[in-house]
């Protein structure tokens, strides 16, 4: 007996920790070694003592330094060394050095390592034991010619194997002569890196094989037992991924024969300590062949321990000290007494990206949450939140072992366990493992070594959500760099959530107008509306009110928060105008929200009240004419998604432009509310262009076109109270459909206008809650309700809950302080410039962005002048935008509108202005002034008919393909429509969502300004799933120009690194290869350059090797993708590179 009192593990990470645990249980003091690059690795802290080995910059070599490790062991009184697996575990020189130093080597004796570690000698041993072997070379090949000769004799395909190691390192399948040279060089180099020896041999490759291995354990007294077999057939690149015990569906006679063959080889070799005899079983014939003996502990030893209950490492340590297998401490004296129970399987969770050819990933783990529970065992290395995964070592993160009574039960345990894992900061193969352990063929036990290669379904992954990390990254970016929406603007006046009205959240929503519409249908419903004596109210707070006051910046979050209250307390409203207009564009462009999601989510919460949208006829929700099939598809999808009332208008009141949209709305089964856009003054006899007769004729034409309702769209608030009464009276007398009055309160007179309209026969008026009313918004809803009380127009609405809604919206408005236009009172200039209320704040934002904020009065006057210049047109999106854009151009160039016709300067007119005057938005009454059109529009560009008629139909199939490329999956019809309407805006939005997820779930102050230190955010990412986020602090800048932002997520520390854009000019980085530039060659993955086979000036041919790089022992070769001459080679062996970094450049394209 030679007791071990102090054990050094000459290894790292998971296996080192595994050995420490068994040693501790035996009362043995433990010693760890670590390379400089491993100085933060967990195994260092799990041992009683830990010492640095090797030199910085030599991470692998440090663990292969025999002299250094042995000297260190002697210096610190170590009397036993366990080699683990990999590194020096099969190196006879290491075992000999230990013996020479008087240190017990926990493994086979030197001669065994020499024989079994040499795969060719091991084949001779198996032959001597009477065990069948595969045809192959009798010794390592000496070069390409030798390998080629042997391969031809064996017949293709063959496999190259490292002669002095395993674990899939140094293995390459070669299917033809043309592959041999590169495969041989690569296998030799990988073998040299992993095992310190470049020797490889050639063996016949079996196409459909099962990989079965038998665990042996022998003592120093000639006793030997097996602990049954394991099935390691599920492999990728010859590396085991999942291991099973016992092997499923293995014929009992074959199992017995394999175990007996393993014992025969062990007895022939006089094997001692733990080892594994590996076999290939031909799945087609059932014959088995010896492959090799691994004279060490295996990664997958855990599954054997789970089915037998035997701690293999513990018994390694005992037999190394001289114990017999029959000793009570070992308990393995009788082979017949060794039993197995149930089934076990092990998955290797690695930091490899299965969606990118399993390229290793590395970096800081920002979160690590492991799993446990019934039947689960975890053997982890450096796996914890904050741990850094380096590119120098194996990518194994944690081994997950599950046991159950059956293979299927164990697979169920492991699938549940894998689902519980949360690992952030580095990519892992967990999605792949989940697919694997739930695959029917795997569950049936029908896998061969080709299973992964032949099962493409394993690579069909659900889209990674990782919502918490992406939200944190967004918040961190806002904290460090600011949100461009509010940067430099006044801070929000409020950060607390807005107070909700009291309501019974469990009460079902009462019947409302949508209930009535479903009961009657659009035509009868419209008749019902016209018959009502009470005044019906549309609330515009969720659309036109904030579009007019806050530049359309209100977020879905603030609408959804109060949606349930609306459904239960506001069922008496006619409708909620909550979609369309500018909201479609701005929600994607600025708020990074999907407009369709807003509609669908609000519809789900408010099922009982009509939803209304503003539709710009042939402009849909855009600023230009679209092909007719886009308009039809958009209307159809909007109605299906929850819109009940479409207010259809044309920016020039040109009915031919409205017919396609009107027909589409009628066909959809929704209510078509056709609008006449009001401008001019029906009370002024001098303004004859837009007379009372003009509006009556227009209304009759719209009724005849199929409209169910008529809207008076007074987008600027020009319809004075008595004008409203006169207009509504005339229309009511001439048409048979109900009238809906819409106005803006810019002048301050429009509560009176709404009441006059109602008194004269308007069935519905638009209004906004008091806190979002007035100025450029709609009249005060609360005031209108009170004004109509106890009169024939009484709305029947309870003013008390409406008061609380106004309080809610007042608090919400304080979140958007940055977007307030600064307008403090009604504007008498309205009757001069006639600017639409919805445009006022948006145009002011544009003016400020151009540095014209202080010249706003000039902009307003220029707006009025431009309107008269182009013929006194109806001004509403998009025509109003054209007028505004030209006004800004004039003020920027210090010009008057009258100067345009006399100034000879060549001006770059805005596209919106050209579109308007070219007729692409339609035709106004009397057309545009010819001299203005001549000055601005080229003759060839003029459109005389309906613009939609001249536009080719959109190709929806091609659009669907394009959008699928943008979103990286099958595109939905809504996404296709969003792209067709706003191609660039949608692409930017999709990129933002891919990077940061759905940021609409964030509270508004956090979205706009980020959280404040110590502030806790409650973020509902889906029903029943809430993230609690608290900002702790922001770190100092790093050398690479990043900062680390520290959070608590659900009470656990999380950190996110984000580039500080203010430091970009100070940080030097290697350039990235430009995608699509044929001259530039980028690194395919992060890692270290191993070899460079070319130099500047070399002429290369397509397919020629340029260089190779390695990450986590995985080597990748970069080949020339085309013929050409290299101008630059920017790396040398040992250079670290990031994925995509420029490594070489051709002289020309």
- Torsion angle (degrees, nearest 10) of CA 326, 330, 332, 338: 150
Q: Say if domain 348-445 classifies as CATH 1.10.357.10.
A: no
CA 821 – CA 846 distance, rounded (Å): 11
Quickly count: other Cβ atoms within 10 Å of residue 1134's Cβ: 10
Token pair 């345009």 is at which residue?
Answer: 900
Angle at 95 between CA 99 and CA 11, to 5 degrees: 120
**Confidence band for 787, pLDDT divided at 50, 70 and 90:** very high
More confident residue, 664 or 116: 664
Query: Buried b vs exposed e over 694-707: b needs ≥16 C-beta within 10 Å?
Result: bbbebbeebbebeb
Residue ranges matching CATH 3.30.1490.20 in the chain: 138-205
Helices (H), 10-109: 13-25, 42-46, 59-63, 66-75, 92-100
Confidence of residue 1068 (pLDDT cuts 50, 70, 90): low
Angle at 369 between CA 364 and CA 375, to 5 degrees: 135
**Partner residues linked to 376 by β-bridges:** 402
Q: What is the pLDDT of residue 349?
A: 95
Please state which architecture CATH assigns to domain 206-341.
2-Layer Sandwich (3.30)
Residue 936 confidence (pLDDT): 86
Share of residues in the chain with pLDDT > 90 (%) = 68
The 8-class DSSP code of residue 26 comes to: T
Of the listed ranges 299-313, 488-502, 788-802, the one predicted with least confidence: 488-502
The mean pLDDT of 475-499, rounded to a whole number, is 92
User: Catalytic amino acids?
Assistant: 240
**CA-wise closest residue to 295 among 497, 113, 30:** 113
Tell me what the mean pLDDT of segment 756-779 comes to.
96
At residue 194, the pLDDT reads 75
674 forms beta bridges with 648, 710
d(CA 707, CA 750): 26
Output the pLDDT for position 167: 61
Q: Under CATH, which number does the domain 6-106 receive?
A: 3.40.50.20
List, as one string, the DSSP characters of 779-820.
-BHHHHHHHHTTSTT-----HHHHHHHHHHHHHHHGGGGGG-
Taking 80 as the threshold, does the pLDDT of residue 199 lie above it?
A: yes
At residue 1110, the pLDDT reads 73
Q: Where in the chain is the domain with CATH 3.40.50.20?
A: 6-106
Q: What pLDDT was estimated at residue 1111?
A: 64
Domain 138-205, CATH number (from 3.30.1490.20, 2.40.30.10, 3.30.420.40, 2.60.40.10)? 3.30.1490.20
More confident residue, 208 or 316: 316
Beta carbons within 8 Å of 316's beta carbon, 6+ residues apart: 22, 82, 106, 107, 217, 273, 274, 297
pTM above 0.85, yes or no: no
Q: Is the pLDDT of residue 838 over 70?
A: no
Per-residue pLDDT tens over the stretch 54-73: 998 889 999 999 999 999 99
1065 pLDDT above the threshold of 70:
no
Secondary structure element (H or E) that encloses residue 671, with its range = strand 671-677
> What DSSP designation does 1063 have?
G
pLDDT at 1112 over 60: no
Residues of each domain in the chain carrying CATH 2.40.50.100: 1070-1146
The arrangement of secondary structure in 1070-1146, i.e. its CATH architecture, is Beta Barrel (2.40)
Task: Tell whether the torsion through CA atoms of 311, 314, 319 and 322 is positive or negative.
Answer: negative
> What is the Rg, in whole angstroms, of the alpha carbon atoms belonging to the chain?
38
- For the chain, the first-to-last Cα distance in angstroms comes to 73
Q: How far is residue 622's CA from residue 960's CA, in Å, rounded to a whole number?
A: 19
Average pLDDT of every residue of the chain: 92
User: Considering only CA atoms, which of 243, 257, 256, 357 is closest in space to residue 307?
Assistant: 243
Relative to beta strand 1025-1034, strand 1114-1119 is: unpaired
- For the residues 816-821, what does the mean pLDDT come to? 90
SS3 437: helix
Rounded CA gap, 1115 and 183, in Å?
11
Statement: residue 1051 has pLDDT above 70: yes
Mean pLDDT over 720-728 rounds to 96
Alpha helices in 616-654 (DSSP H): 628-641
pLDDT band for 558, please (50, 70, 90 cuts).
very high
Q: What is the DSSP letter of 550?
A: S
Domain with CATH 3.30.470.20 in the chain: 206-341, 348-445
């Amino acid at each position: 007996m030679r007791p071990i009192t102090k054990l050094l593990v000459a290894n790292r990470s998971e296996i080192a920790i595994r050995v420490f645990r068994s040693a501790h249980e035996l009362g043995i003091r433990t010693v760890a070694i670590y390379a400089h690059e491993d100085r933060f690795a967990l195994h260092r802290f799990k041992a009683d003592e830990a010492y640095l080995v090797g030199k910085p910059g030599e991470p692998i070599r440090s663990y292969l330094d025999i002299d250094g490790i042995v000297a260190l062991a002697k210096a610190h009184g170590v009397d036993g060394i366990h080699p683990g697996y990999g590194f020096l575990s099969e190196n006879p020189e290491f075992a000999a050095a230990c013996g020479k130093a008087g240190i017990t080597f926990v493994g086979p004796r030197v001669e065994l390592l020499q024989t079994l570690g040499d795969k060719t000698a091991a084949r001779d041993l198996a032959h001597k034991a009477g065990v069948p072997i595969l045809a192959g070379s009798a010794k390592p090949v000496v070069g390409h010619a030798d390998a080629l000769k042997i391969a031809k004799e064996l017949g293709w395909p063959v496999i190259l194997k490292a002669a002095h190691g395993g674990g899939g390192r140094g293995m390459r399948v070669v299917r033809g002569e043309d592959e041999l040279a590169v495969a041989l060089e690569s296998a030799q180099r990988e073998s040299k890196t992993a095992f310190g020896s470049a020797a490889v041999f050639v063996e016949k490759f079996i196409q459909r094989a099962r990989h079965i291995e038998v665990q042996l354990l022998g003592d120093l007294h000639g006793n030997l037992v097996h602990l049954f077999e394991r099935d390691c057939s599920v492999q990728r690149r010859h590396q085991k991924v999942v291991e099973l015990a016992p092997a499923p569906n293995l014929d009992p006679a074959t199992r017995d024969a394999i175990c007996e063959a393993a014992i025969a080889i062990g007895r022939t070799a006089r094997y001692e300590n733990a080892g594994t005899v590996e076999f290939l079983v031909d799945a087609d014939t059932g014959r088995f062949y010896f492959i090799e003996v691994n004279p060490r502990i295996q990664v997958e030893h855990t599954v054997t321990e789970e089915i037998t209950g035997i701690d293999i490492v513990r018994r390694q340590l005992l037999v190394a000290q001289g114990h017999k297998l029959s000793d009570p401490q070992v308990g393995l004296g009788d082979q017949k007494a060794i039993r197995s129970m149930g089934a076990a399987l092990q998955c290797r969770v690695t930091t490899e990206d299965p969606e990118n050819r399993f390229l290793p990933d590395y970096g800081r783990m920002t979160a690590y949450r492991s799993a446990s529970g019934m039947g689960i065992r975890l053997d982890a290395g450096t796996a914890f939140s904050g741990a850094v995964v380096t590119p120098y070592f194996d990518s194994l993160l944690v081994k997950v072992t599950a046991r159950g009574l059956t293979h299927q039960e164990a697979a169920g345990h492991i699938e549940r366990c894998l689902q519980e894992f949360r690992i952030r900061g580095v990519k892992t193969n967990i999605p792949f493992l989940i697919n694997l352990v739930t695959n029917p063929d795997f569950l049936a036990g029908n896998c061969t070594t080709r299973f992964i290669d032949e099962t493409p379904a394993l690579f069909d992954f659900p889209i990674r959500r990782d919502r918490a990390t992406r939200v944190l990254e967004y918040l961190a970016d806002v904290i460090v760099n600011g949100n461009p929406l509010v940067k430099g603007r006044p801070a929000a006046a409020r950060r607390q959530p807005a107070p909700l009205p009291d309501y019974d959240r469990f009460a079902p929503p009462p019947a409302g107008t949508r209930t009535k519409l479903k009961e009657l249908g659009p035509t009868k419903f419209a008749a019902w509306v016209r018959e009502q004596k009470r005044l019906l109210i549309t609330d515009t707070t969720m659309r036109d009110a904030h579009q007019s006051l806050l530049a359309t910046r209100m977020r879905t979050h603030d609408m959804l928060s109060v949606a349930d209250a609306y459904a239960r307390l506001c069922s008496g409203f006619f409708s909620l105008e909550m979609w369309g207009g500018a909201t479609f564009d701005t929600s994607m462009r600025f708020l990074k929200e999907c407009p369709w999601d807003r509609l669908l989510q609000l519809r789900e919460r408010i099922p009982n009240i009509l939803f209304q949208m503003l539709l710009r006829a042939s402009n849909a929700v855009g600023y230009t004419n679209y092909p007719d099939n886009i308009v039809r598809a958009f209307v159809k999808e909007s109605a299906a998604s929850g819109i009940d009332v479409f207010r259809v208008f044309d920016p020039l009141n040109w009915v031919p432009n409205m017919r396609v949209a009107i027909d589409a709305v009628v066909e959809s089964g929704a209510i078509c509310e056709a609008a006449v856009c009001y401008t001019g003054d029906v009370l002024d006899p001098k303004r004859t262009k837009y007379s009372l007769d003009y509006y009556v004729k227009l209304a009759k034409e719209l009724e005849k076109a199929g409209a169910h309702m008529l809207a008076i769209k007074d987008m600027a608030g020009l319809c004075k109270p008595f004008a409203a009464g006169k207009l509504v009276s005339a229309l009511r007398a001439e048409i048979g459909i109900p009238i809906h009055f819409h106005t803006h309160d810019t002048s301050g007179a429009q509560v009176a206008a709404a009441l006059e309209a109602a008194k004269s026969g308007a069935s519905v008026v638009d209004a906004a809650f008091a806190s979002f009313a007035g100025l450029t918004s709609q009249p005060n809803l609360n005031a209108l309700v009170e004004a109509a009380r106890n009169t024939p127009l009484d709305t029947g609405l309870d003013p008390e809950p409406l008061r609380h809604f106004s309080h809610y919206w007042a608090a919400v408005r304080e979140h958007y302080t940055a977007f307030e236009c600064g307008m403090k009172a009604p504007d008498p200039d309205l009757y001069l410039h006639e600017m639409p209320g919805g445009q006022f704040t948006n145009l002011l934002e544009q003016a400020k962005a151009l540095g014209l904020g202080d010249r706003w009065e000039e902009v307003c006057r220029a707006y009025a002048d431009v309107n008269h210049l182009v013929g006194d047109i109806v001004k509403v999106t998009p025509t109003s935008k054209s007028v505004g854009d030209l006004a800004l151009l004039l003020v920027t160039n210090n010009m008057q509108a009258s100067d345009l016709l006399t100034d000879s300067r060549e001006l770059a007119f805005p596209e919106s202005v050209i579109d308007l005057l070219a007729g692409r938005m339609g035709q106004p009454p009397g057309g545009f002034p010819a001299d203005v059109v001549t000055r601005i529009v080229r003759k060839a560009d003029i459109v005389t008919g309906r613009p939609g008629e001249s536009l080719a139909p959109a190709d929806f199939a091609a659009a669907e393909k394009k959008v699928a490329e943008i979103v990286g999956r099958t595109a939905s019809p809504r996404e296709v429509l969003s792209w067709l309407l706003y191609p660039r805006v949608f692409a930017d939005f999709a990129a933002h969502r891919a990077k940061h997820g759905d940021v609409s779930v964030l509270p508004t102050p956090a979205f706009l300004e980020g959280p404040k230190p110590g502030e806790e955010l409650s973020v509902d990412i889906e029903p029943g799933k809430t993230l609690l986020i608290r900002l702790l602090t922001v770190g100092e800048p790093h050398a690479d120009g990043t900062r680390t932002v520290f959070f608590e997520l659900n009470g656990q520390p999380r950190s996110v690194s984000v580039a500080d854009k203010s430091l970009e000019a100070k940080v030097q980085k290697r350039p990235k290869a430009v995608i699509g530039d044929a001259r530039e060659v980028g690194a395919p993955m992060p890692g270290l350059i191993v070899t460079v086979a070319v130099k500047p000036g070399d002429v290369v041919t397509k397919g020629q090797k340029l260089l190779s790089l390695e990450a986590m022992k995985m080597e990748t070769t970069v080949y020339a993708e085309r013929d050409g001459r290299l101008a630059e080679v920017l790396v040398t062996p040992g250079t670290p590179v990031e994925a995509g970094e420029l490594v070489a450049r051709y002289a020309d394209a």
